Amino acid sequence: MVNGIIGRKLGMTQIFLPDGTAVPATVIKAGPCVVVQAKTPATDGYEAVQLGLVDDSPAASNKPMEGHFKKAGVPPTRIVREMKVVAGGAAVKAGDAVLVNMFNVGDRVDVTANGRGKGFQGVVKRHGFAGGVATHGSMFHRAPGSIGASSYPSRVVKGMRAAGRMGGKRITTQNLKVVSVDAEQHLIVLRGAVPGAPNSVVLVRQPAAKKKDPQPQPVKAKKGKK
């Protein structure tokens, strides 16, 4: 059994809980996916599967990849990712379909995607520096300040927080709760936000460390004054 599925982030909305509370939610079109290759310890040294996301538009591929997809008996897919296999699950072979109904309402999932790129930013926005005072001609507003000693070591040490490119990195948001699953439309709705821009590729997987739902705590009676 595969531990996840490939999808695309459609956007965000809000849902209402039974008590009327509005919470943010993200809609993802997860799948349909096909197994392009099943890797085994005997042939590849480890166990995993190669999944392909079936898009509405046909994907172009070169000669080697055409043979790769033809061997599995599946159409060429533009998006291909590797997923782990759940230990003790059902065996997976090339050509099998992986659908969103592998998840149920109430499950917890981890979502991985490339975050939004924010370009070159200064230390105030990138690292949350406070900056200097804004009045009385200080001439020090959004500058980083000292970045090292002059005499020794007479260089900028590695890891110094400075201005640079912000965002655009691979991010994983853990333990998001599944609030809705539509198997016919291949849609899954998760509570909260996931990384990435709309229409970006996301990986929805079983959680690495499952988080328990908060349990109601008994109210302690206040002791009366004597």
In terms of CATH architecture, what is 4-116+172-205? Beta Barrel (2.40)
Instruction: Judge whether residue 116 has pLDDT over 60.
Output: yes
Report the chain's mean pLDDT, rounded to a whole number.
Answer: 86
Residue range 140-160, pLDDT digits in tens? 999 998 898 888 888 999 999
Q: Report DSSP state, residue 39.
A: E
Residue 28 pLDDT level (bands cut at 50, 70, 90): very high
Question: Please, what's the largest Cα pairwise distance for the chain?
Answer: 88
Q: Which residues are bridge partners to 39 per DSSP? A: 48
Query: Which of 173 and 92 is assigned the larger pLDDT?
Result: 173
> Tell me, what's the pLDDT at 224?
63
Sorted by sequence, the CB contacts under 8 Å of residue 91 that are 6+ apart come out as none
Residue 189 pLDDT level (bands cut at 50, 70, 90): very high
> Tell me, what's the pLDDT at 27?
93
Q: What is the Cβ-side half-sphere exposure of residue 150, based on CA atoms within 13 angstroms? A: 0
Q: Is 53 exposed, middle or buried (0-12, 13-18, 19+ CB in 10 A)?
A: buried
Instruction: Judge whether residue 58 has pLDDT over 80.
Output: no
Calculate what percentage of the chain has a pLDDT beyond 70.
94
pTM of the model as a whole = 0.78
Query: Which of 217 and 78 is assigned the larger pLDDT?
Result: 78
**CA–CA distance from 132 to each of 118, 129, 136 (Å)?**
24, 9, 11
Residue 226 pLDDT level (bands cut at 50, 70, 90): low
Residue 124 pLDDT level (bands cut at 50, 70, 90): very high
Residue 225 pLDDT level (bands cut at 50, 70, 90): low
User: Which sequence spans correspond to the domains of the chain?
Assistant: 4-116+172-205, 119-167
Instruction: Judge whether residue 187 has pLDDT over 70.
Output: yes
